[in-house]
Structure 1
Amino acid sequence: MPRKYIRTNTARPRASWSDEQLVEAVAKVQTGEISKREVHRRYNVPPRTLKRRLTSGNFKKGALGPEGILGRANETRLVAHIHRLSVIGFAPDRSTVRTLAFWFAEKLGIKHPFSAATEKVGFAWLHSFLDRNPELSVRQTEGLSLSRAQGMNREDARRFFELDEVLTENGLMEKPSCIFNMDMKQAYNS
């Protein structure tokens, strides 16, 4: 299972301040109106956060925690690639997604802890990746027998859906009451 941190100290919520509150607090601290400790009491911005934001000049909240091995932008590109594969009929399974992610990191020159021996990412990374991207659904493909694959050709499929010929041939175009829909499997078993 993936290593997923579950926060236990919920008494003090993280980043419970907004960007507007931070900008207002920084302006008041810079003008000397209030102290850094008072900012924490009024705006719920921790003093260390305020100090770090004052030195960096970054007043946007952003996402909490590290960005991840591939980064958010590259993960979005990988998700788009998996979607394109699915659309053209090559939906990847879990093993293929693991290999794709490994080669994606290699091609981009991203430093990663993935196994070079297996040329795959770990199961923990895969589970976290699928959690971060719920629009992906990696499933096991179903097998198709050779006879079904050969029987499903373009001409047979066209004839199946074009019933005009059959209806005209049997004189049923003007007699819709004589057309019945049934499950052929049950018809043969009766």
Structure 2
Amino acid sequence: MPFNYRKKQTTRKRSNLDLSVIKNALGDIDQGKSIRGVALEYGIDRNTLRNYLRDRSKLTKISEQGSQFKTSMIFTIEEEKALVEYLIACSKMNYGLTRQATMQLAYEYATMNSKKVPDCWTSNNCAGKDWFRGFMTRNPELSLRTPEATSLSRSTSFNRKTLLISSRTSKKLEKNTNLKHITSLTVMKQGVRLYKSVPK
């Protein structure tokens, strides 16, 4: 399956059906109106109306799941939002997760909530690549970038107060010496590495 599947222009879009509209349409058909006339009146496809006429138990599925429910979804929208919020919170605490760690977290989250997962998830103890690709496209606020390896002390101390102090000291250095080409930014960049290497 291609990564970005494009539907053909000739195919119809699925309509998000309302339960009350379908019940009203079925009531009109029961009163003796034609299926085609009711379909035109309510703007519902006549084959859809025929399906609901044959099997009225499908109406309970609409009330429970909605007409656009995807059966292959592992997490609900709320659970996926909670996972996104957790990943963003980890990133703000300078503990951004890699792709593999995110896939393992998704598998653990699914097993804790006793979700039905594919067999490849259980054999690998992590979510699949296809799920991760779909997860990233559904949540564009997340981005997977190779983080710059920064220590916690360096990232937390990078604030307005320390920048003012460093700019004052660099100005004092400029006055005392003839090194006018050195700016506070180049002084800040010349640091000692106090961190581990970034995982690949």
TM-score (norm 1): 0.65
Deviation at 1:102, TM superposition (A): 0.8
SS of the equivalent of 1:111 reads coil
SS of the equivalent of 2:124 reads coil
Deviation at 1:23, TM superposition (A): 6.0
Distance 1:2 1:112, change over 3 A: farther
Contact 1:2 1:128 in 2 (8 A): no
Q: Pairwise CA RMSD of aligned residues?
A: 4.2
Bigger Rg, which one: 1
Distance 1:115 1:67, change over 3 A: closer
Structure 2, unaligned stretches of length 5 or more?
Answer: 187-200
Q: Are 1:183 and 2:186 counterparts?
A: no
Distance 1:100 1:29, change over 3 A: same
Deviation at 1:112, TM superposition (A): 0.4
* Residue matched to 2:165: 162
SS of the equivalent of 1:115 reads helix
AA aligned to 1:161 is: L
SS of the equivalent of 1:162 reads helix
Deviation at 1:143, TM superposition (A): 2.8
Q: Which moved more, 1:42-51 or 1:116-125?
A: 42-51
Deviation at 1:101, TM superposition (A): 0.5
AA aligned to 2:142 is: L
2:125 to 119, 126, 141: 119
Deviation at 1:126, TM superposition (A): 0.3
- 1:149-173 CA deviation, whole Å, 9 max, x = no partner? 4994988975552379769x89x9x
Distance 1:45 1:153, change over 3 A: closer
Alignment of 1:68-87 (within 5 A): 68-87=73-92
What is the aligned-residue identity percentage?
Answer: 20
State the distance in 1 between where 2:124 and 2:43 align: 48
State the distance in 1 between where 2:144 and 2:91 align: 10
- 1:77-103 CA deviation, whole Å, 9 max, x = no partner? 211211221122212121111111011
State the distance in 1 between where 2:153 and 2:16 align: 61
State the distance in 1 between where 2:87 and 2:155 align: 27
TM-score (norm 2): 0.62
Deviation at 1:14, TM superposition (A): 2.2
Deviation at 1:63, TM superposition (A): 2.9
Contact 2:17 2:67 in 1 (8 A): no
Alignment of 1:110-149 (within 5 A): 110-113=115-118, 114-144=120-150, 149=151
State the distance in 1 between where 2:90 and 2:73 align: 24
AA aligned to 1:93 is: T
SS of the equivalent of 1:116 reads helix
Q: Which moved more, 1:118-127 or 1:67-76?
A: 67-76
Q: Are 1:28 and 2:28 counterparts?
A: yes
Deviation at 1:47, TM superposition (A): 3.2
Q: Which moved more, 1:154-163 or 1:35-44?
A: 154-163
Larger relative contact order (C-alpha < 8 A, sep ≥ 6)?
1
